[in-house]
Amino acid sequence: MAEKELKRELSSRHMQMIALGGTIGVGLFMGAGSTIKWTGPSALLAYAFAGIILYFVMRALGEMLYVDPTTGSFVNYASKYIHPFAGFLTAWSNVFQWLVVGISEVIAVGTYLHYWWPNFPSWVAGIVVVLTLAGANLFSVRAFGELEFWFAFIKVATIVIMIILGLGVILLGIGNNGHPVGFSNLWAHGGFFTGGIKGFFFALSLVMGAYQGVELIGLTAGEAKNPQEAIVKSIRTIVGRVLIFYVGAIFVIVTIYPWNELNAIGSPFVQTFTKVGITVAAGLINFVMLTAAMSGCNSGMFSASRMLYTLGNTHDASPAFTKLSRFKVPYVPVIVLSAGMLIGMLLNELPMAASTNVFVIVYSSSVLPGMVPWFVILISNLKFRRDHAHQFPNHPFKMPLFPFSNYFSLIVLAIVVVFMFINQETRISVIVGALYLAVVSAVYIVRAIVTKPKTVTNKNTIIN
């Protein structure tokens, strides 16, 4: 089978950083402000609670990957254990999600470069970034893995340093004239739950969007060395690390600064570094944001190209997407996605972009399609466990609290979608995402009708 021709060159080190790189980005560096605005210090609880759902999703995925580590994993599981339509919808949702994320990150690169070179054309920066990342993705999966490892490492190192410095401010008074800030900001400005239950769930919807991307571990499984060992090691560590980085960073922010003053201070990341005497903080954080944007684009290009490859193998997209280069990389999907990112980048150059948030709407529309893989992973796992019951007495990586954890997570995700629609600031993104899913569903139904075998009956034979 063509899928087996992909090279297995990704180690557990690569897989963990790829997942971290896909998860830690604008959702933390830029999205934290909105979550704190809606729910105050209890944003901490929102990130922790969403982490529980993330843990169950990843354990369900890991349980299946241990038995069947394939490229396009959760799409294959959706087709096999739910219905081919579920696989079709999941794959095209994933392609849409990462293409949109990739476009937004390319545009973001140009914006970040304006910090140093205000007159530098954004479209030039976008072309350079896309061509560079396409080159890395076309050369070999190991080149992609190494590039993403170092992109993610820069982000992770920055967050770890910020958490350590922040704890110094909170506990030792470093940068605050030796007076520890303490923990009173967690409850002193209207309480811990300033937005009530509604505000908490509004924040939870953004947090779920921020965590999207960690399922990239599933897409790397088909190109991983010693996949079973790498998958178990990666999933066991990735959720804990994501929670430490997100919850740790948010804890530092809402403890050092009153939550209701965050909009006035600018980036809390910049302010935290500045507070302890790092005067180049703004330039440093801007550089980290630049690498975060390139990381998001890189991850998007990889994951969407593997999805198109999987769609080609299942005959749900052009067979050209299954062609492999001499480096055993599906080069046609990489080229098509690179072209799509370059075209999408032009959205930012249109006259209307200066006066509207059209691109913000397009970007946020990826959140609902991005949740589709989580739904199908949890649902697929229910039937997977029944079909593979004979393998579970000795299975070392079972889904905890099965099946209650599956049902609990599905209910929470459904509630999050409802609150995204209730919230005026996220409603448009849900509607756009739902329209995309409706179009994909319609395409599947039309294809099924058009390609349905016709039965012709005569006196003696039935011809299919």
Instruction: State pLDDT tens for residues 81-107.
Output: 999 999 999 989 989 988 888 887 787
Check which CATH number belongs to the domain holding 397 and give it.
1.20.1740.10
Question: Looking at 127-136, 167-176, 272-281, 367-376, which range is the least confident one?
Answer: 272-281
Write down the pLDDT at residue 1: 42
Where is mean pLDDT largest: 7-11, 150-154, 317-321?
317-321
Q: What is the mean pLDDT of residues 191-197?
A: 84
Instruction: State pLDDT tens for residues 37-46.
Output: 888 888 889 8
Task: Look at 434 and 106; give whichever has higher pLDDT.
Answer: 434
Percent of the chain with pLDDT over 70: 81
Write down the pLDDT at residue 420: 87
Would the pLDDT of 429 be above 70? yes
Q: Give φ, ψ of 458 to 5 degrees.
A: -125, -165
Q: Which residues contact 80 (CB under 8 A, 6 or more apart)?
A: 87, 380
Would the pLDDT of 363 be above 70? no
Write down the pLDDT at residue 88: 92
To the nearest 10°, the Cα dihedral for 19, 23, 26, 27?
A: 180
Where is mean pLDDT largest: 175-189, 195-209, 363-377, 437-451?
437-451
Domain of 395, in residue numbers: 2-463
Confidence of residue 459 (pLDDT cuts 50, 70, 90): very low
Q: What is the mean pLDDT of residues 181-190?
A: 87
Q: What is the mean pLDDT of residues 267-292?
A: 77
The pLDDT mean for the chain works out to 80
Confidence of residue 313 (pLDDT cuts 50, 70, 90): confident
Write down the pLDDT at residue 89: 94
Domain count, the chain: 1
Write down the pLDDT at residue 410: 96
Write down the pLDDT at residue 8: 55
CA 184 from centroid of its chain's CA atoms = 33
Would the pLDDT of 113 be above 90? no
Task: Look at 231 and 161; give whichever has higher pLDDT.
Answer: 161
Q: What is the mean pLDDT of residues 15-42?
A: 70
Write down the pLDDT at residue 26: 59
Would the pLDDT of 2 be above 50? no
Q: What's the 3-state SS for the chain?
A: CHHHHCCCCECHHHHHHHHHHHHCCHHHHCCHHHHHHHHHHHHHHHHHHHHHHHHHHHHHHHHHHHHCCCCCHHHHHHHHHCCHHHHHHHHHHHHHHHHHHHHHHHHHHHHHHCCCCCCCCHHHHHHHHHHHHHHHHHHCHHHHHHHHHHHHHHHHHHHHHHHHHHHHHHHHCCCCCCCCCCCHHHCCCCCCCCCHHHHHHHHHHHHHHHHCCCCHHHHHHHHECCHHHHHHHHHHHHHHHHHHHHHHHHHHHHHHCCHHHHHHHCCHHHHHHHHCCCCCHHHHHHHHHHHHHHHHHHHHHHHHHHHHHHHHHCCCCCHHHHCECCCCCEHHHHHHHHHHHHHHHHHHHCHHHHCCCHHHHHHHCCHHHHHHHHHHHHHHHHHHHHHCHHHCCCCCCCCCCCCHHHHHHHHHHHHHHHHHHHCHHHHHHHHHHHHHHHHHHHHHHHHHHHCCCCCEECCCCEEC
Would the pLDDT of 355 be above 50? no
Write down the pLDDT at residue 460: 47
Instruction: State pLDDT tens for residues 130-183.
Output: 888 888 888 766 776 777 778 778 888 888 888 888 898 899 888 778 888 888
Q: Give φ, ψ of 430 to 5 degrees.
A: -65, -40
Q: Give φ, ψ of 462 to 5 degrees.
A: -120, 120
Tokens of 270: 């910049």
Write down the pLDDT at residue 443: 93
Write down the pLDDT at residue 352: 54
Write down the pLDDT at residue 14: 61
Would the pLDDT of 463 be above 50? no
